[in-house]
Amino acid sequence: MSLINCKNVTLSYENKTVINDLSFDVSEGDYLCVVGENGSGKSTLIKALLGLKPLSGGSITLGDGLKKNEIGYLPQQSSVQKDFPASVYEVVLSGTLNSCGLFPFYKKSDKNKAEENMARLGIFDLRNASYRELSGGQQQRVLLARALSATKKLLLLDEPTAGLDPIVSSDFYRIIEKLNRDDGITVIMVSHEIKTAVKYATYMLHLHRNHTFFGPKEHYLHCSDCKKLFEGGDSNV
For residue 59, tell me if it sits in a domain: yes
Q: Are residues 100 and 116 in the same domain?
A: yes
In order of 194, 201, 224, 225, 232, the CA distances from 228 in angstroms are 12, 19, 7, 6, 6
Q: Are residues 145 and 28 in the same domain?
A: no
**pTM listed for this prediction:** 0.89
For residue 71, tell me if it sits in a domain: no
Pick the last residue of a domain from 151, 181, 207.
151
Range of the domain at 197: 1-66+153-237
Cα–Cα distance for residue pair 235/193, rounded to 1 Å: 7
Q: Are residues 56 and 84 in the same domain?
A: no
Q: Residue 178 carries which side chain, given as an amino acid letter?
A: K
Pick the last residue of a domain from 104, 128, 151.
151
| pLDDT mean by block of 10 residues, the chain; 237 residues | 91 90 95 90 93 94 85 80 84 83 74 95 96 92 95 92 88 94 95 84 88 89 67 45
125-151 tens-digit pLDDT: 999 999 999 998 999 999 999 999 999
- Residue 164 belongs to domain with CATH number: 3.40.50.300
Pick the last residue of a domain from 132, 151, 170.
151
Give the chain's domain count: 2
Q: Are residues 237 and 188 in the same domain?
A: yes
For residue 72, tell me if it sits in a domain: no
Q: Are residues 48 and 146 in the same domain?
A: no
For residue 7, tell me if it sits in a domain: yes
CA nearest 100: which of 109, 90, 112, 91?
Answer: 109
